[in-house]
Chain A
Amino acid sequence: MPEYNFLVVEDSPTMRQLISFALKRIPGSKIVEANDGIDALKKLSTQKFDIILTDINMPIMDGLKLVSMVRNDPAHKTIPIIIITTEGAEEDRKRGLALGANSYIPKPIQTVDLLNIVNQILGNKG
């Protein structure tokens, strides 16, 4: 069974738990949680991840800054990134995707939609 490592970057413990809960339904999934962008970068330096799922509005370092830093880092620039945010306006979506995110999911999230996108990125049939 393949193993998938996910990095969930969220300042809200409720959302972290909800996203992790959904990802645990993918067989072989291993989830690491980070509170903000800086915490995420620390965790990226110690472990390899298959997908990063990040919020935008976070203290210390926001999600857009994190996306931009990951995309400019040769060691991590190919990791798929999914933005999960309350910012649902079209311009926010365009901005996130322009920075290099692979997908943009507005909150409140539907577990089915999240899993479909994750499985699509992983190349699973879901």
Chain B
Amino acid sequence: MDKEPASLTKKVEEFLQVFKKGEEFTQELLKENEKLRYKVAQLDEVTKFSGREGDFKVNTLEEKIKFLEEENKSLLQRYRVVAEENKDFANRYVEVEAENNNLANLYVASYQLHSTLDFSECLKIILEIVMNLIGAEEFSIMMLDERTNELTIVAQEGMGPEAQASVKLGDGIIGSASKSGEAFYREGDPTDLQGVDYLHPLVCIPLKIKEHVIGVIVIYKLLVQKTIFSNVDYELFTMLAGHAATALFSSKLYSQSERKLTTIQSFLDLLKEK
């Protein structure tokens, strides 16, 4: 019986030892757990903080992107406006250039018309203008004789022998245009011709000093390369209507006065001799 209590005591002691160790181990585990919980809490803090910082950075970058996108949009808008302005300037440049060339043509034509007081030279210059600047192949200049009311060809280029040398004022297209003083332009394509018809010209430009008609420029056919009348052609027609008329009229008056001067001079010389 004594042996049994002794072994029991031993077992109890052993159990107590194990229990104590278990308690110590548990205590250590609790401490370790405490430490880990502390670390976890610390990590939680760090994560929370870095999350906030990350959010802040993302927000900043997003704002920057938004700003840059806005700036890009505004630059694109400005680029479009500038490109449009540029296009507009280019178009205006082309227009100004064309106008400049037209003015050069008109200037040269009017300069040449008033560069002489010789009637035949004046006629030659008008022929040159109509041929080289307008591009006519067959055309004539007719002058009006106010006593007979007849228009007679005084200069021509490229016309055949079947062309009428004179026309009565009011007769046909040429006579009517000259009587009314209104320019005549045949409708349709100016190159659409089945041979030249001298009764149906392409263009009649009455030569007028104010409202007084002194003659007419008649175009029957254009050069093969001339397909349409451009704006400058109509400007040239208008310019010729006035300037060619004054140039022809003044050169004719000058020639007449020169002749009269010579006659008077001859008379004076005769009187002196007597």
Contacts and interface: CB of A to CB of B under 8 A. Distances in A.
A108 B112 contact: no
B135 A13 contact: no
B108 A18 contact: yes
Interface stretch (B47-55, B198-206, B220-228, B253-261): B220-228
A101 to B, nearest CB: 16
A14 B223 contact: no
B244 interface: no
A110 B101 contact: yes
B224 A89 contact: yes
B38 interface: no
A12 B108 CA distance: 12
Interface residues of B, number: 24
Most buried by A among B125, B134, B225: B225
A110 B108 CA distance: 14
Contacts of B225: 88, 106-107
Nearest to A13: B112
Contacts of A12: 128, 132
A112 B101 contact: yes
Nearest to B137: A86
Given A88-B223, A107-B223, A17 B135 contact: no
Complex A-B, nearest 6 residue pairs according to Cβ-Cβ distance, in ascending order: A88-B225, A106-B225, A111-B101, A108-B135, A14-B128, A14-B112
28 contacts: A13-B115, A14-B108, A14-B109, A14-B112, A14-B125, A14-B128, A14-B132, A14-B133, A15-B128, A17-B112, A18-B104, A18-B105, A18-B132, A18-B133, A86-B131, A86-B132, A86-B137, A86-B223, A88-B225, A107-B131, A107-B132, A107-B135, A108-B133, A108-B223, A110-B101, A111-B104, A112-B98, A112-B101
Interface in B210-239: 223-226
Contacts of B101: 22, 110-112
A27 B101 CA distance: 17
B14 interface: no
Interface in B109-140: 109, 111-112, 115, 125, 128-129, 131-135, 137
Interface of B is mostly: helix
Interface of B: 97-98, 101, 104-105, 107-109, 111-112, 115, 125, 128-129, 131-135, 137, 223-226
B214 to A, nearest CB: 21
Interface of A: 12-15, 17-18, 21-22, 86, 88-89, 106-108, 110-112
A89 to B, nearest CB: 6
A17 B104 CA distance: 10
A108 B108 contact: no
Given A13-B112, A14-B109, A106-B225, A22 B104 contact: yes
